[in-house]
Structure 1
Amino acid sequence: MRQFRRGGLVFDVRDGGPPDGEPVVLLHGFPQDSSAFDRLAPLLHGAGLRTLAPDQRGYSPGARPPGRSAYRLREVTADVLALLDEAGLESAHVVGHDWGGAVAWALGAWHPGRVRTLTSLSTPHPAAMARSLVTSDQALRSTYMALFQLPVLPERLLLARDGELLRGVLESSGLPADAVARYVARMRGPGALSAALAWYRAVPLAARDTVGRVTVPTLHVWSTGDVALGRAATERTRDHVAAPYRLEVLEGVPHWIPEVAAERTAELVTVHVRSTA
Structure 2
Amino acid sequence: MKHIDAGVLNVAYFESGPADGPPVILLHGFPYDAHACDAVAALLSAEGKRCIVPFLRGYGGTRFRDPATPRSGEQAALGADLLALMDALDIPSAVLAGYDWGGRAACVVSALWPERAKGLVSCGTGYNIQNIAAAGVPADPEAERRFWYQYYLHGERGRAGLAENRDAFCRLLWMLWSPTWEFDEDTFARSAKSFANPDFVDVVVHSYRHRFGLVAADPAYDAIERRLAAQPTVTVPTVGLQGADDGVDPPGETDEDAPHFTGPYERKILFGVGHNVPQEAPAAFAAAVLALG
Q: TM-score, normalised by structure 2?
A: 0.81
The Cα of 1:263 is off from its aligned counterpart by 1.5
Q: Is the Cα contact below 8 Å between 1:124 and 1:233 reproduced in 2? A: no
The Cα of 1:66 is off from its aligned counterpart by 6.6
1:198 aligns to what? 206
The 1:164–1:256 alpha-carbon spacing in structure 2 relative to 1, beyond 3 Å, is same
The Cα of 1:74 is off from its aligned counterpart by 1.8
**By percentage of residues, which structure has more helix?**
1
The Cα of 1:47 is off from its aligned counterpart by 1.4
Q: Is the Cα contact below 8 Å between 1:128 and 1:236 reproduced in 2? A: no
> For residues 35-184 of structure 1, what are the structure 2 equivalents within 5 Å?
35-59=35-59, 60-63=61-64, 70-126=72-128, 134=138, 136=140, 137-151=142-156, 153-158=157-162, 160=164, 163-174=167-178, 176-177=183-184, 178-184=186-192
The SS at the match of 2:14 is strand
Deviates more, 1:2-11 or 1:32-41: 2-11
The SS at the match of 1:125 is coil
Give the counterpart letter for 2:204 in structure 1. A
The Cα of 1:29 is off from its aligned counterpart by 0.7
The SS at the match of 2:30 is coil
| 1:140-165 deviations in Å (ceiling 9; x for gaps) | 322321212223x3343245468334
2:241 aligns to what? 221
d(CA) in 2 for partners of 1:198, 1:66: 15
Q: TM-score, normalised by structure 1?
A: 0.86
Instruction: Report the identity percentage.
Output: 29
Give unmatched runs, 5+ long, in structure 2: 218-224
d(CA) in 2 for partners of 1:236, 1:45: 33
d(CA) in 2 for partners of 1:145, 1:155: 11
Q: Is the Cα contact below 8 Å between 1:69 and 1:202 reproduced in 2? A: no
Give the RMSD, CA atoms, in angstroms.
Answer: 2.8
Equivalent of residue 257 in structure 2, options 237, 240, 257: 237
Q: How many residues align?
A: 272
The Cα of 1:85 is off from its aligned counterpart by 1.1
Give the counterpart letter for 1:171 in structure 2. M
The Cα of 1:27 is off from its aligned counterpart by 1.0
